[in-house]
Amino acid sequence: MDKSYNHKEVEERIYKLWEDTGYFNPDNLPDAKKRKPFCIIMPPTNANGNLHAGHALVITIEDIMTRYKRMKGFKSLWLPGLDHAGFETQVVYERKLEKEGRSRFKMSPEDLYREILEFTNSNKSNIKSQTRKMGASCDWSRENFTLDENIIKTVYETFKKLYEAKLIYRGKKIINWCPKHQTSLSDLETKDEERTEKLYYLKYGPFTIATARPETKFGDKYVVMHPKDKRYKDYKEGQKIQLEWITGPIIATVIKDEAIDMEFGTGAMTITPWHDPVDFEIAERHNLEKDQIIDFRGRLLSIAGEFSGMKILEARPKIIEKLQAKGLVKKIEENYKHTVKTCYKCNSLIEPQIKKQWFLKMKPLAKPAIKAIEQDKIKFIPKHYKKIILHWLKNIIDWPLSRQIVWGIPIPVWYKGEEVFIGENPPEELGWVREEDTFDTWFSSGQWPFATLKSKEGDFKKFYPTDVMETAGEIIFFWVARMIMLGIYATKKIPFKTVYLHGLVLDAKGQKMSKSKGNVINPLDITDKYGTDALRIGLVMGNTPGTSLSSDENKIRGFRNFSTKIWNASRFVLMNLEDYKKVKMTAKDKKKVADFKKKAKEITKLMDDYKFYRAAEKIYGYFWHTFCDKIIEESKKDLAGENRASAQNMLLEILSGSMKILHPFMPFITEEIYQALPLKNKKKSLIIEDWPK
RNA sequence: GGGCGGUUAGCUCAGCUGGUUAGAGCGCCGCAUUUACACUGCGGAGGCCGAGGGUUCGAGUCCUUCACCGCCCACCA
């Protein structure tokens, strides 16, 4: 063995050795037929950039589970995948275009699609080589991409099935519109932002109404109050009132609705159904007319009279000026705090709009999911996520599936007048027009576990339902909940037994990593400097599921030192094994081996309980402070005396056992050492060795 | 407005179903230097386990109230 551990050279050579054995593919494992299946589907990596610390954590945890189960004798499949990541990728690409002084809106959809595809393809190979560097023992022969033909086929089948079951419908409903990205977004893709703005009290005939958005008020011709509000008892539902409004006289109609909060403002409000979800609901209930005031680019329409064509924020002060001149402004409250919805990617103010879109009815899909979770058919780690997901599922609303972006799976629908055809290819006759929108990317990733397993003959039967879904707690609603619902719907089975959710990787001070703060850890830099094994165990140790992990270079350096320790201890043992032969051990040495086995048993229990952070800590502490500091030190006397052979046996047994236990955490260095050990019945690779019993 | 998580050594965090002197890593302070390893070894300092109350023979660990920090969800014009 070399005097020091050269991680760069070893990692490259060892990963190749593993790939050459073919054991990442469970079909190639020894006695593959007799093994019980174990399966993890890798969350498909967004192919729009480099691996970041979060990816490194995913790969590490999932690889630990996969390697552990493989050593425990399972037919262990970890299926890798890449994600076109629809909107996310398009946003990344649009930023790139912006920097180049270009714009998606000046390109044909075909050109834009082609460019993003090229961009994604070049990232794919990058991501894959980085995943290999992390030591991932996934089966590359089963790799899937979310735009693969067979995936799309499955997605279309599900869509059709849902449509025929009347769970999918096309509706003209209010949606979240991002004026910058020119697409609708689901509620999950928006975030609330608290703003302090002015609240205007306006005279509306005999009423006073309050609004923070006077620029939406042009078409307001309904005034709504609570049916029990005594202040307005003299006004009857449907009563018409003529009054002077922004651009002239109008006829307003009185509406009574219980959605009105009597405590707020004057208890009377006008509604803008086209641009406000609450108002939309009221209008739907009372069958009221809806007028569009603002176009999809955020400019006022002709209904705004002299303000038409103006951007809404420019128009606001001018409208107020006019209202003041007409004596319609009663009062202005300066510091009115309220929350507004913004696009989660660009922070633009969301402008609700009414648009014809495809929706998925969620209540019927949520029902069996709720039941499964309530009956603990799915185990959540950590368990408090059970409550969180149940709460969300119980309050679920319909899911808008349509996105007005090119980078995604096209919605397989054709129209001819009122007729609708579901399918990729329209009927023979002429005149069918294709739907232009694409699916929300989560509609396809929500089907990932069964879509991927169906792409290889026999896999679905063998590996579905899968065992563990490991992903970031952040995307529990986006992804996990939808996989459960769509999985149960499409396959009648819950797609996984256990959901393991990890937290964010934070910097040393506990702050979220971001490029602007300059505190991002690039996993590949760390790997380069300290070795993949050091990074891996550094990401796991002290990392409780669900909570965030603080990490910095200093910590990783400590684990590099551990690698060195492992290397040197192994070197010492090997240096003393030239004349090794198997003999019976002394009672003292037997006791040491027995102690190790006891430790191994404790660790196995922790591994089975998904407490990798504690398992890692245990083997770390044992190896360094018991094996190195005590056992090796004490053995030096024996090695020089009559008990030499016994000591050799004892050292080899504990060292090889430790390499096995450390292997899921630190695969490279342990394999390298394993290859050098003079063991009987040695396997081709440590990855198929038996886990210590 | 509702819900969830956190508060333990200077820092980052463990501590499972309550049980002898509360743990780890990093940091800090001594000592050791032709040792497998200085990317080291040995030794050490450092904690009224957020605050109050309760249950118990016994509580970081269970119950309760409060404070502060963080996150999520929600249509208040």
Going from N- to C-terminal start, the domains of chain A cover 184-343, 551-688
Whole-number Å distance, CA A52 to C1' B48?
43
Looking at residue A549, its pLDDT comes to 66
CATH topology of domain A184-343: Isoleucyl-tRNA Synthetase; domain 2 (3.90.740)
| Burial category of A480 from C-beta neighbours within 10 Å (exposed 0-12, middle 13-18, buried 19 and up) | buried
pLDDT at A507 over 90: no
Whole-number Å distance, CA A65 to C1' B47?
36
| Burial category of A384 from C-beta neighbours within 10 Å (exposed 0-12, middle 13-18, buried 19 and up) | exposed
* DSSP line for A402-441: EE--SSSPBP-EEEETTEEEESSS--SSS--EE---EE-H
Cis peptide before A382 (omega within 30 of 0): yes
pLDDT at A297 over 90: yes
Looking across all nucleic acid strands, the nucleotide with the smallest C1' to CA distance from residue A621 is B24
Looking across all nucleic acid strands, the nucleotide with the smallest C1' to CA distance from residue A560 is B39
Residue nearest to nucleotide B2 (CA to C1'): A391
Whole-number Å distance, CA A83 to C1' B50?
44
Query: Bigger pLDDT: A388 or A42?
Result: A42
Looking across all nucleic acid strands, the nucleotide with the smallest C1' to CA distance from residue A476 is B72
Looking at residue A550, its pLDDT comes to 64
Looking across all nucleic acid strands, the nucleotide with the smallest C1' to CA distance from residue A211 is B77
pLDDT digits (tens, 9 = 90+) for A13-30: 999 999 999 999 999 999
Looking across all nucleic acid strands, the nucleotide with the smallest C1' to CA distance from residue A474 is B72
Which amino acid, residue A637?
A: K
Query: Bigger pLDDT: A174 or A335?
Result: A174
Pairwise CA distance, residues A690 & A693, whole Å: 8
Looking at residue A483, its pLDDT comes to 97
β-strands A240-245, A248-256: how paired?
Answer: antiparallel
Which segment, A50-59, A288-297, A376-385, is predicted with the most confidence on average?
A288-297
Percentage above 90 pLDDT, chain A? 81
Whole-number Å distance, CA A206 to C1' B48?
67
Whole-number Å distance, CA A367 to C1' B70?
32
Whole-number Å distance, CA A184 to C1' B67?
43
Looking across all nucleic acid strands, the nucleotide with the smallest C1' to CA distance from residue A624 is B37
Percentage above 70 pLDDT, chain A? 97
Looking at residue A384, its pLDDT comes to 87
Whole-number Å distance, CA A509 to C1' B11?
9
Looking across all nucleic acid strands, the nucleotide with the smallest C1' to CA distance from residue A210 is B77
pLDDT digits (tens, 9 = 90+) for A495-506: 999 999 988 776
Residue nearest to nucleotide B6 (CA to C1'): A547
CA atoms within 13 A on the CB side of A74: 17
Looking across all nucleic acid strands, the nucleotide with the smallest C1' to CA distance from residue A534 is B39
Per-residue pLDDT, averaged over A412-418, amounts to: 94
Pairwise CA distance, residues A96 & A230, whole Å: 58
Residue nearest to nucleotide B41 (CA to C1'): A629
Looking at residue A80, its pLDDT comes to 98
pLDDT digits (tens, 9 = 90+) for A341-364: 999 888 889 999 999 999 999 999
Give the predicted TM-score (pTM) of the model.
0.94
Cα dihedral A252, A258, A260, A263, rounded to 10, equals 130
Looking across all nucleic acid strands, the nucleotide with the smallest C1' to CA distance from residue A396 is B73
Residue nearest to nucleotide B12 (CA to C1'): A550
Residues contacting residue A244 through CB under 8 Å, at least 6 positions apart:
A205, A326, A328
pLDDT at A515 over 70: no
Q: Is A399 helix (H, G, I), strand (E, B) or coil?
A: strand
> Residue A632's closest CA among A591, A663, A592, A598?
A592
Whole-number Å distance, CA A542 to C1' B14?
7
Pairwise CA distance, residues A216 & A436, whole Å: 29
Looking across all nucleic acid strands, the nucleotide with the smallest C1' to CA distance from residue A188 is B73
Whole-number Å distance, CA A347 to C1' B3?
26
Looking at residue A519, its pLDDT comes to 66
| Structure token digits, residue A239 | 């009563």
pLDDT at A511 over 70: no
Pairwise CA distance, residues A304 & A295, whole Å: 11
pLDDT digits (tens, 9 = 90+) for A3-16: 889 999 999 999 99
Per-residue pLDDT, averaged over A298-309, amounts to: 94
Whole-number Å distance, CA A384 to C1' B64?
21
Whole-number Å distance, CA A192 to C1' B23?
41
Predicted confidence band of residue A263 (pLDDT cuts 50, 70, 90): confident
Which amino acid, residue A167?
A: L
Looking at residue A516, its pLDDT comes to 60
**Nucleotides of strand B within 7 Å of the protein's CB atoms:** 3-6, 11-15, 24-27, 36-37, 39-42, 72-77
Looking across all nucleic acid strands, the nucleotide with the smallest C1' to CA distance from residue A281 is B75
Pairwise CA distance, residues A183 & A443, whole Å: 16
- Average pLDDT along chain A: 92
Looking across all nucleic acid strands, the nucleotide with the smallest C1' to CA distance from residue A541 is B25
Residue nearest to nucleotide B42 (CA to C1'): A629
Whole-number Å distance, CA A358 to C1' B55?
57
Whole-number Å distance, CA A617 to C1' B44?
23
Whole-number Å distance, CA A625 to C1' B42?
12
Number of Cβ atoms within 10 Å of the Cβ of A410: 15
Per-residue pLDDT, averaged over A140-164, amounts to: 97
Looking at residue A53, its pLDDT comes to 85
Q: If one looks up domain A551-688 in CATH, what number appears?
A: 1.10.730.10
pLDDT digits (tens, 9 = 90+) for A595-606: 999 999 999 999
Pairwise CA distance, residues A213 & A310, whole Å: 15
Whole-number Å distance, CA A519 to C1' B28?
26
Looking at residue A268, its pLDDT comes to 92
Looking across all nucleic acid strands, the nucleotide with the smallest C1' to CA distance from residue A276 is B75
Whole-number Å distance, CA A218 to C1' B75?
21
Pairwise CA distance, residues A536 & A518, whole Å: 22
Reported ipTM: 0.93
Whole-number Å distance, CA A69 to C1' B53?
49
Per-residue pLDDT, averaged over A278-306, amounts to: 94
Looking at residue A259, its pLDDT comes to 87
Residue nearest to nucleotide B74 (CA to C1'): A395
What is the distance between the terminal CA atoms of chain A, rounded to a whole angstrom?
29
Distance between alpha carbon A292 and the CA centroid of its chain, in Å?
35
